[in-house]
Structure 1
Amino acid sequence: MPVHKLSIRIATYSLRYDSKPDNITVEQTLESLSDPMTAPKYMRKSGEQPWSTRRIKIWQTLVGEGVVLFGIQEGLTRQVHDLATLLGDDWDWVGVGRDDGKEAGEYNAIFYNKKIIDLREWDTFWLSSTPFELSRSNGSRKNRICTVARLAIKTQTGTIPFSLLNTHLDHKSDDARQLGASLVLQRARFEAFHAQGAPVVVIGDFNSPPAGKHAAAYEIATGTRAPVHLNATFAHRLAVPEGTLEDFKLQDMRGETPRAKVVGNFATSFPFDDPDNTSKWSRIDFIFGGSNGEWKSTLYKVGTSLTDDGVFASDHHPVFVDVTLRDK
């Protein structure tokens, strides 16, 4: 059977939640856009701006980069629906609010272009000792979740199946991050087995850089540190046969991309209130590929959230990858 392959652009974007809500609609924002031929007042604004100002820039960035699939972190219901409105009828999304499994709290939503990608099925689990029920990890102040979508790219001769996991690990507790990374790794391994070797992509805000005192979750994900003990029910339900994918890990696509094709920024996170304080810059937003393979990263880009009017669309930069997925 011939090998089919297709390249798509995937993104992850931690939005910064809607901390300054207002009643300005998407339509009002679009109507108020300035003349594109008129120069803005450069760096006129500073600090965190309302979502009603930031959302148009998020959408413009994603559309301008030509993504066909992306995941968000920190998005509240309004933010998810605003993005869906801006993206239009060609797009759809999946996800739930982490605080009730419906609409309350932040989403790890996955958006996909329906003209290019089919949704097969999806679910959510919580990053805790009871992953199949609404819960939080010991030491965490917030519920944390992972959204899993089984997708397929449409081709002229059929489809290429793959799985995408989108998560946001805890921002305070290292123990909670380690448990979260271990759960995500196990689910990614199960996806690789369940889909009979199809590509697995994991994206999200890990709140864990590749090195330093907070690196444990990243190390678990990438196989340089052992996972922590998992809930027995979760481990049993997501078990794979003994000897199968024993060394499965997540590979940081930044390091798997040709050096000349790694572009843009290095850091992905910075403080709104002091964006020039480089001591607080960090690389904590990632796109990983499962070590079972069937993917190849051809471009890795960390964009910018800053526009020349001084507005930061988020306190994270978006991360983009051009990835070729293969189906044997």
Structure 2
Amino acid sequence: MKLKSVKERLFAAILILTIVLGGVACSKGNNNVEPEPNEPDGKAVIVATFNIGYDNPGAGAGKRWTDRRQAVAKLIEKHKFDVFGAQEPLFNQLEDLKGLLPDYTYFGVSRDGKADAGEFAPIFYNKETIEVLESGQFWLTDADDKSVPSIGWDARYPRTCVWLKVKHKVANETFFVFNVHLDHIGGIAQRESTNLLMEEVPRIAKGDPYFLMGDFNYGHNSANYQLLVGSPNFVDTHGIAKRKINGDKGTFPGTPSYGRIDHIFVNETNSPTIRRYQIVTDSFSGILPSDHSPVLVEVVF
């Protein structure tokens, strides 16, 4: 009887320890690494931002566009992006992605205003699920005419905002998507571009739900980030998501101190439900798709 009692107590102790450790793992998983989510239902919309990295001929092995392009396409297909803002692609990269992803196309001209040359900040969308209702593009500049390319403030390059008004064919929901890639050098340009977006995005959307996304080149602890989320019209999806995957990771892994510099914001009022926020860290056969980790949100209206 004594031997049996010892065995029973030992089993109970192991069971309790297993439950406690399992609970700790689960609680950590909510904001770190979790199993792949279930297939989103038909009325969920996947919105994402993805700096795919420009075609740099001097990049090392495994980092060249010819090495990465299949991985970029596989990631987009795997996570079933409905609509996403891309940053840094050159025209040849856009053509490659259209060939690798025949269900997708894009809108936007380069930051130099050209349709077939330069660096773009386009919006891609799945033609099977997304219908484009309106489209536009303006430049982040202090020039009076923001419909033509110009360099604003102390920026190094022209910077632009591409936008679409779209309808999700299955969910039967209409919303706006704005995509940007802010300057990486000019501190004044970053601040004033943020101020301009705070004015123009709500003005264009006219009360409809909207997503402002892109590579902002400033982190979530920066003054410019606080300026944006401190306004009455923008909230970071990271903060309101029902579920986070890799939520505590940075989006520029090569420089962890930058934190999250790729963001997706929504309007604070009339905003959709953010069911999932995910910083995607996939690699394919050892190849990272880009030097940035894309960010996606699973949305229900």
Bin of the TM-score, shorter chain as denominator length: 0.7 to 0.9
Change (3 A) 1:255 1:47: farther
Tell me by how many angstroms 1:100 deviates: 2.8
With over 3 angstroms needed to count, the CA separation of the structure-2 counterparts of 1:123 and 1:192, relative to structure 1, is: closer
Paired position in structure 1 for 2:45: 8
Residues 128-158 of structure 1: CA deviation (Å, up to 9, x unaligned): 11222210112111111110111111148xx
Alpha-carbon distance in 1 for matches of 2:137, 2:148: 10
Contact 1:122/1:149 (<8 A) preserved: yes
Counterpart for residue 250 of structure 2: 267
Decide which structure has greater helix share: 2
Q: Distance in 2 between matches of 1:138 and 1:10?
A: 31
1:150 aligns with 2:165: yes
The aligned amino acid for 1:222 is V
Quick one: which amino acid aligns to residue 208 of structure 1?
Y
* Equivalent in the alignment of 2:18: none
Distance 1:312 1:48 in 2: 8
Which residue of the other structure, out of 80, 83, 86, is the alignment partner of 1:66?
80
* Alpha-carbon distance, 1:305 to partner: 5.1
CA contact (8 A) 1:202 1:287 kept: yes
8 Å contact from structure 1 (residues 74, 107) kept in 2: yes
Amino acid at match of 2:112: D
Q: Which runs of 5+ in 2 are unaligned?
A: 1-41
Checking the alignment, whether the CA contact within 8 Å between 1:140 and 1:173 is kept in structure 2 is yes
Residue 75 of structure 1 corresponds to 89
Q: Equivalent residues in 2 for 1:1-328 (5 A)? A: 6-20=43-57, 49-88=63-102, 90-130=103-143, 131-155=146-170, 159-193=172-206, 197-211=207-221, 215-223=222-230, 247=232, 249-258=233-242, 261-264=243-246, 266-271=249-254, 278-279=256-257, 281-304=258-281, 306-309=283-286, 311-325=287-301
| 1:191 Cα deviation after fit | 2.9
Q: Once the two structures are superposed, what CA deviation does each residue of 1:195-216 show, in whole Å capped at 9, x if it has no partner? A: xx321111100011111xxx23
CA distance in 2, matches of 1:48, 1:136: 33
Name the SS of the counterpart of 1:255 in structure 2: helix
Distance 1:128 1:77 in 2: 23
Q: Distance in 2 between matches of 1:278 and 1:140?
A: 24
Aligned partners of 2:163 and 2:111: how far apart in 1?
A: 14
TM-score using structure 1 length: 0.73
Residue pair 2:164, 2:177 contacting (<8 A) in 1 also: yes
Instruction: Kindly name which structure, 1 or 2, has the bigger radius of gyration based on alpha carbons.
Output: 2
Q: Secondary structure at the match of 1:189?
A: helix
Q: 1:101 to 1:121 in 2, by over 3 A?
A: farther
**Equivalent-residue separation in structure 2 for 1:162 and 1:14 (angstroms):** 22
Count of matched residue pairs: 257
Match of 1:244 in 2: none
Deviation at 1:61, TM superposition (A): 0.6
Give me the whole-angstrom Cα distance separating, in 2, the residues matched to 1:18 and 1:49. 9
Alpha-carbon distance between aligned partners in 2 of 1:298 and 1:47, rounded to the nearest angstrom: 37
Q: Is the 8 A contact 1:305 1:315 kept in 2?
A: no
Contact kept in structure 2, 1:305 and 1:318, CA below 8 Å: no
1:102 deviates by 2.7
Partners in 2 of 1:147 and 1:84 — Cα distance? 18
Q: Distance in 2 between matches of 1:127 and 1:216?
A: 19
Give 4+ residue runs of structure 1 displaced > 4 Å after superposition. none
Deviation sequence 1:48-83 (CA, Å, 0-9, x none): 621011111011011001111111000110111111
8 Å CA contact 2:61, 2:67 repeated in 1: no
- Is contact 1:101–1:134 with CA below 8 Å preserved after alignment? no
How far did residue 308 of structure 1 move? Answer: 4.8
Percent of aligned positions with the same letter in both sequences? Answer: 30
* Residue 104 (structure 1) shift: 2.9
Q: Whole-Å Cα distance in 2 between the matches of residues 101 and 183 of structure 1?
A: 23
